[in-house]
Each structure stands twice: as C-alpha cells, then as structure tokens.
Amino acid sequence: MALFYNIKVVTTFLFASLFFGYGVIELQASHHVSNHLQDVATSQSLFSDDQPYRTAYHFQPLKNWMNDPCGPMIYKGIYHLFYQYNPIGNGSPDGPRVWGHSTSLDLINWTPQPLTLLPQLEANMNSSWTGSITILQDYKPAILFTGITPKNEQVQDLAFPKDLSDPYLREWILVPQNPVMSPTQENKINATSFRDPTTAWWLPDGNWRVVIGSKIERRGLALLFRSKDFINWVQVDHPLYSYELTGMWECPDFFPVNVNGIPIGVETSAIGPNVKHVLKLSLDDTKHDIYTIGTYDAFKDAYIPDVGFQNDSSLRYDYGKYYASKTFYDSSKMQRLLLSWVNESSSLADDIKKGWSGIHAVPRRVWLDISGKQLIQWPIPEIESLRINPVILPIQLIKGGSVIEIPGISAAQADVELSFGLRDLSNIEKFEASWTNPQLLCSQKGASVSGGLGPFGLLTLASVGLEEYTAVFFRIFKDYDNDKFVVLMCIDQSRSSLNPTTDKTTYGTFVNVNPIYEGLSLRILIDHSVIESFGGKGKNVITARVYPTLATNDKARLYAFNYGRGSVQITWLTAWSMKKANIA
Ligand code: DQQ
C-alpha cells in the first residue's frame, strides 16, 4: 500500500508540473532564438538553453524516466501510446514502473492522459511492466502486461478499459482472475524470466495465441500460450521458437507482412500464402533489437525462420540505439507501424540533472523488401507536416577533402534528404574478406580517416569551428572476389560532444544497395540530442543520442563533407527546418 500511496503523491506532483512547467519553458526559450530561425520560433520552437537536449518532435514525457513503448493501438480513430514510466527519481530508472499514456490524431502531436496500471492487485503491486494491446472480436481492447508481485515475481495480467464510452480510455481495470499466466513448479518457468506479452493473434481453431519472452539458462525462449476466452490461458507444449546461447528474450514481437514488396500492412492474425512472419526479439545481453523473417505454421504452432538464427550478425531494425520496440497494425491506414525506446547515452548523473531520460523514435512504417530478405523502414509521412523553409542544394561535385555548409536551416531541428552519385571509381579500395564486422570497420576507419571513396556524408549537430560534430557517412569498397560493391554506413560519435562522460560508440552497418545503379540515399532526422539516419531508402537505419555542448539550438550547423580521395556528387539535397510538435 505504501508504494501505491507514493505513486499517488508523485502523480499529483507530476500533473501539477504538467500544467505549470510548460509555461516556464516557453518563457525562457523565446529569448534564445536567432533571426534566421524566426519561422521555427514562431512555430513554437521552444529552444531552451537550460534544456538543450529535449527534443522538439520525438515523443517524450515532460520529466522523469521513460522506457519501452507499450500497447500502441488505434481505437475509434484515436492513436494510443502507453509507455514504461518511473514516476519518481527524475531521470533515474530506480523505482517502480506504471504505464504513461498519451493520445494523438496523427502520431506526431500528443495529449497526455493520466498514468494508468497503478497498483491495483497483488498481481501488479510492485510494478506494471511491458505489454501489448489486442482488440478482441467484440471490438474491446484488452491489455496483457507483466505485473510484478510483492515477491518480485513476473506474472501476466489482463486489464480492460473501465468505460468504453470514454474516447481516451483513461482508466483500466485489472480483472479479478489476475494473474492470468504465472510461473509454477509444473511449467518450470523462472519467475524472473517471464515477461512482455505480445499482441495476441486469433486462429481458426478458435483460440488466441500470445508469446511471452523467457529463457532457460542461456537459451532464449518465445513461450507460447493459448486461450479461448482471453482469461484462461494454457501453455502450449513447445515454444514458438527458441535458440541457444542468446540469453533473455525481452519484448518479443510477432507479426505478418505482405510478400512481394507490397508496402501495405497486415492485421496481426493474418495467415496464409501471401504473408511471411517476422519474429523480433530484444536481446537483454546486447540491448539489440534483432529480427528474423520466416514462416509460421499455424497447424504445428511453429515458426521457422528462413535463414536460421544468426545471433550477433542477425538483422537489426536499427544499428544504433533502439530497444524494446513494438509494432501495431494501423487499420485506418492499413500500415504496420514500429515504435521504439531510444535510451540516453549520457551519464546517470547528467540524466538526473536534466530531470528526464528516454525518448521514443519517430514512428516508422515497416514492410517486407521485395527481396523477401529484410524489412524496409520509413518515418511516417505525418512527420513531414512539421517541415518548413526547404533549402535545396544544387547538384554539385564535392571534391576530396572538402566541407560545404548547408545554410539557412535550424540545424538542431531538421529533416534532411539527399542522394550521392558516384562518377569516378578510380580511387575505390579493395574490400577485404576479413571485414565481417561493420561496426568495428566504422570505428577503425572513423570520419577523419581518408579513404578511396569515402568517408562522405553529413556533419550534423556541428559547431561553427567544428570542435563538435556527429558524422553520418558512407565508404564504398569493391569486393573483387564477388564482383560487387560494398557500402558501409557509419555514425562516428567520437567528436559529438566535448562532455567526456557521454557514450561515443561508433555505429556501423553494410547497406545492401548497388551505389552505381541506385545511387546512395540518406535521410536524417535531427532533433537536438537524437539523430535518426535512414540509408538506402530505408534498408538500414542507425539512431544515435548525442549531447553537443557548443552546437546547441541556434548555434548548431549542418555540413556536407567528403574526406575521401575521390570526388562524389550530391545529386539532390533538400534540408528542412522542423517545427516543434505539441508533445506536452
Ligand atoms: N523493460 C520492462 C520489461 C522489459 C524491459 C521493464 C525491456 O518488461 O523486459 O521496464 O526494456
């Protein structure tokens, strides 16, 4: 009960600051906007020198710690986003979890709703961890989530809206039968490794299925349960899938995608020859969200990945910072959308100082590439409604060793699309067969190491004197053994901040494109302390959190660069300043 009381007190405090804090930030910010950013300023860009790392169009609560997205859905035309929220401790993770809740009509502007899934029963007395929503056949949404009991056991709980006529579904009630799935001696599930139910899918045998993340020793498990009525759940005698030596599988996600590169989403219960299935796992060991593409045999209740599990070299949604992601089917636009937590790269002390931690990535549409071998991701088109003042760079050659400023945009709050063309391959370097780890290759050949073709790309969140910048770039090699080009995409964060305590890991990935025929496209969403970079029209994505000390707000700059020996051409580049979304 003590915990419940604390949360109530904290909640009251939180909502008081929601109302009073907003105005404070607005007043401070308006003094720090320079002239050329006037349009951004009038569109409510609340640049604040006190809080230079708060984002303008990425989802984040006003304060405190946030992690996993939970139960995203569209219901009666309103998008709902829930998230793991620690109502105490400023930016520290230490404390209980409840569900934060916001609603939206466009997935960009959000209205906060009251916290929910506060302790109601023994089955969630210590916390309400991650879960998903399923819309049942009578069009009633149901939350399945992991409750933490007073003994710190993980159990699965069920909750329904208290009042279905409330368009915002503000209150959720746990059913008295909770927990609806528990670790027992019989099922031999470890009570500390049993969490994060997926959205359930319904099969023609009249049963729902749901997957729960787990492990036995070092074997990761996607445990399968079935139920006719959504209340009584029985464990299926085999997991949907499991793999040795992968550790705990958190936040599993299992969903169908259309074959043949059709970019239309599919409802979660769809089966049949026109769909493949994706199994995504958040690996607790590495904090990577990896996925496999395969076939779901509904009769055997088994998932068979096409190329087997690949552990460290598995496909990833994102080769930077991106964890505990979750998709949902948006029936209003027939699309599958992907949401994710993007953790901080700053120290705990810095997080507590700024009073918050954790943002969510811009929602991405996901679909299966025509090759059937990987997913494609692209930011939802609604984000483009925030674009203003486009700056278009004419086609131009960038000679080796040059840096060009892209002027006239709010470089701390921008959306940039560009494409490179390769005209001169005479300098191309040989790709070595031993270079199997793209992240390692990117860190060995950072942004300042000159090569044949590359590094070329953008210097984002750069200070005027280039004391600080985060380089997003490509290097191109020729693999003579296989007669193909190899495209390496990197983010070098080593110069991202003069603050010595931030994590400055270099990220990297190989992009499967032919740069001669297809060109090399890049889209970068820059938002104060986050950079989301989409290479090869959404084939590979890298997200980074950076904390410049000089290149903040209107002091940030954007440059194109080429530190390679050979020239490259910018075939098109448009950079937009971005307005601030309403995420109060
Ligand atoms: N976060 C939740 C867990 C989940 C983890 C707790 C993943 O349910 O496994 O906040 O980030």
C-alpha to C-alpha distances, 106 to 278, 327, 581, nearest whole angstrom:
26, 16, 11
Cβ distance 305 to 279 under 8 Å?
yes
DSSP 17-55: HHHHHHHHHHHHHGGG--GGGHHHHHTT----SSSTTS-
Backbone angles phi, psi at 60, to 5 degrees: -160, 145
Residue 186: DSSP 8-state: T
Whether residues 343 and 433 fall in one domain: no
Whether residues 481 and 462 fall in one domain: yes
Residue 300 lies in a domain: yes
Whether residues 178 and 205 fall in one domain: yes
Whether residues 403 and 307 fall in one domain: no
What token pair was written down for 252? 């599993």
Amino acid at 74: I
Whether residues 452 and 343 fall in one domain: no
Residue 4 lies in a domain: no
Cβ distance 5 to 567 under 8 Å?
no
Whether residues 349 and 442 fall in one domain: no
Whether residues 138 and 164 fall in one domain: yes
Cβ distance 340 to 322 under 8 Å?
yes
Residue 5 lies in a domain: no
Whether residues 231 and 139 fall in one domain: yes
The pTM score is 0.92
Residue 495 lies in a domain: yes
Whether residues 405 and 416 fall in one domain: yes
- Ligand 1: distance of its center to the CA of 130 in Å? 6
Whether residues 407 and 307 fall in one domain: no
Decide which of 352, 379, 406 is a domain's last residue.
Answer: 379
> Which atom of ligand 1 lies at the shortest distance from residue 131's CA?
8
CA atoms of 362 and 344, how far apart (whole Å): 15
Residue 1 lies in a domain: no
Q: Give, rounded to a whole angstrom, the gap between the first and last alpha carbons of the chain.
A: 30
Clarify whether 68 is annotated catalytic: yes
Q: The domain that contains 406 carries what CATH number?
A: 2.60.120.560
CA atoms of 410 and 558, how far apart (whole Å): 9
Of 64, 127, 129, best ligand 1 pocket probe by most atoms within 8 Å of the beta carbon: 129
Q: Which helix (H) or strand (E) holds 516?
A: helix 515-518
Checking DSSP bridges between strand 98-104 and strand 78-86, what pairing results, if any? antiparallel
> Which atom of ligand 1 lies at the shortest distance from residue 282's CA?
7
Count other C-beta atoms under 10 Å from residue 105's C-beta. Answer: 13
Decide which of 379, 410, 428 is a domain's last residue.
Answer: 379
Backbone angles phi, psi at 42, to 5 degrees: -70, -20
Say whether 58 sits in a helix, a strand or coil.
Answer: coil
Where in the sequence is the domain holding 374, given as residue range(s)?
A: 10-379
Residues with CB under 6 A from ligand 1: 67-68, 84, 97, 129-130, 146, 195-196, 250-251, 324
- Ligand 1: distance of its center to the CA of 195 in Å? 8
Of 64, 82, 83, 84, best ligand 1 pocket probe by most atoms within 8 Å of the beta carbon: 84
Whether residues 59 and 164 fall in one domain: yes
- Ligand 1: distance of its center to the CA of 340 in Å? 12
- Ligand 1: distance of its center to the CA of 131 in Å? 9
> Which atom of ligand 1 lies at the shortest distance from residue 196's CA?
8
Residue 317 lies in a domain: yes
Q: Which residue out of 68, 157, 301, 351 is catalytically annotated?
A: 68
Residue 3 lies in a domain: no
Nearest CA to ligand 1 atom 6: 129
Q: Find tokens 């995608």 and name the residue.
A: 257
- Ligand 1: distance of its center to the CA of 181 in Å? 17
Q: Biggest alpha carbon distance in the chain?
A: 72
Say whether 5 sits in a helix, a strand or coil.
Answer: helix
Of 66, 67, 146, 156, best ligand 1 pocket probe by most atoms within 8 Å of the beta carbon: 67
> Which atom of ligand 1 lies at the shortest distance from residue 97's CA?
10
Q: Report how far Cα 470 is from the mean position of its chain's Cα atoms.
A: 19
Whether residues 30 and 91 fall in one domain: yes
Provide, for the chain, the percentages of residues in helix, strand and coil under a 3-state DSSP scheme, each rounded to the nearest 5: 15, 45, 45
Provide the b/e sequence for 481-512 (b: ≥16 CB within 10 Å). eeeebbbbbbbbbebbbeeeebbbebbbbbbb
- Ligand 1: distance of its center to the CA of 556 in Å? 34
CA atoms of 339 and 427, how far apart (whole Å): 40
Mind spelling out the 3-state secondary structure of 497-514? Answer: CCCCCCCCCCEEEEECCC
Number of structural domains, the chain? Answer: 2
Checking DSSP bridges between strand 429-430 and strand 470-479, what pairing results, if any? parallel
Decide which of 379, 395, 430 is a domain's last residue.
Answer: 379
Q: Say how many CA atoms lie within 13 Å of 23 toward its Cβ.
A: 4
CA proximity to 541, closest of 261, 316, 288, 372: 316
Q: The domain that contains 262 carries what CATH number?
A: 2.115.10.20
User: What string of pLDDT tens digits covers the 584 residues of the chain?
Assistant: 333 333 333 333 333 332 222 222 222 222 222 333 333 333 333 467 789 999 999 999 999 999 999 999 999 999 999 999 999 988 999 999 999 999 999 999 999 999 999 999 999 999 999 999 999 999 999 999 999 999 999 999 999 999 999 999 999 999 999 999 999 888 889 999 999 999 999 999 999 999 999 999 999 999 999 999 999 999 999 999 999 999 999 999 999 999 999 999 999 999 999 999 999 999 999 999 999 999 999 999 999 999 977 777 899 999 999 999 999 999 999 999 999 999 999 999 999 999 999 999 999 999 999 999 999 999 999 999 999 999 999 999 999 999 999 999 999 999 999 999 998 899 999 999 999 999 999 999 999 999 999 999 999 999 999 999 999 999 999 999 999 999 999 999 999 999 999 999 999 999 999 999 989 999 999 999 999 999 999 999 999 999 999 999 999 999 999 999 999 999 999 999 999 999 96
Count of all residues that appear for the chain in the document: 584
